[in-house]
Amino acid sequence: MLQKIKIAEGRPIDGHAPGLSGRDLNAYVAAGIGSDHECTTADEAREKLRLGMHIMIREGTTARDLENLLPVVTAHNAANCMFVTDDRHLPDLMHEGHVAFAVRKAVALGLDPVLAIQMATINPARYFGLRGLGGIGAGMQADMIVLDDLRAMNAEMVFRQGKLVAQEGTFIPPAQQPREVPVRSSMNINWQNVGHFEVPAREGYLRVIGVVPDQLVTDSLLVEPSIHDGQAVADIERDVLKMAVLERHLASGNVGIGFVHGLGLQRGALASSVAHDSHNVIVVGTNDGDMRAAAEAIERMRAGWSRWSMARSWPAYPYRSPG
């Protein structure tokens, strides 16, 4: 890891350090990490700011930290703060927007509109060394938004490189159409090596991922396993489900299998190829058969989301998506 950091020397290095504090955090910063987008509490963000880090205030779909972190932002330290989304699902992008949603929410919570705009524009541009971006001035790229006012922040016009690309919510397509680029399928699963998600029972406790609502961090739980025919299996009564991640890019046959608590699934299985960071196929379910069927539905669609159940009370059908 230190060798990777050395290779990136002189460039911004983003950190992933939820909960890191004290001497460990000092060592982390001393190694060259300049920013962090994993803060979940005001105290955590404040300590990292005091050590000179740039704090990325995350307001995504699953992780919503803006309300907790905004009290830390002042006129004195706002230059080291910026907004990010990390992961934002399509419905939220369509109905709420992207970084603009964080700006509007921060203003609604009392932040100075000018500071909020700076945290979405010039601050990240300066941190990442994007010269000519993030502001309006001579010699800068003319990326501009015309707003109705500084609080509602509805975009009346959007300019990209000086050209009008949207007006009153309507996209204005460029005259030149994008060229067709052939792309091979990225859905390549080696089912022969994957197997059927069996987990042989062993003595001792079962390590289980504990889902934390509205957060990306998880708990590590130890529970008594439920065993059937020598296999550790899901336990619906205790909300312990089986989970698998299937490598889907190179047909390596690699698969990771574990258990998760906190999803509340009562029957069937859910699968998705939209799975940050590597976007392999991830599937969670109450039984191995439905898990396999849900994952195979993703493969047939070549990407997307699916839910599957052999039970008549829950029809089996896939959700198609472009992802």
Pick the more confident residue, 108 or 180: 108
pTM value is 0.73
pLDDT score of 221 more than 90: yes
Per-residue pLDDT tens digits for 34-45: 999 999 999 999
Whether pLDDT at 319 is above 80? no
Query: 296 CB contacts (<8 Å, ≥6 apart)?
Result: none
Residue 250 confidence (pLDDT) above 50: yes
Label residue 55 by pLDDT band (50, 70, 90): very high
Q: Could you give the percent of the chain with pLDDT greater than 90?
A: 78
pLDDT above 50 for 323:
no
Sorted by where each starts, the structural domains of the chain and their CATH numbers stand as 2-134 (3.20.20.140), 141-171 (no CATH), 191-320 (no CATH)
Q: What is the mean pLDDT of residues 264-273?
A: 95
Per-residue confidence (pLDDT) for residue 311, from 0 to 100: 60
The confidence score (pLDDT) of residue 193 equals 85
Spatial neighbors of 236 by CB under 8 A, at least 6 apart, are: 265, 266, 267, 286
Given a cut of 80, whether residue 99 has pLDDT beyond it is: yes
Averaged confidence pLDDT in the chain: 91
Asked whether residue 79 carries a pLDDT value surpassing 70, the answer given is: yes
What per-residue confidence (pLDDT) applies to 317? 43
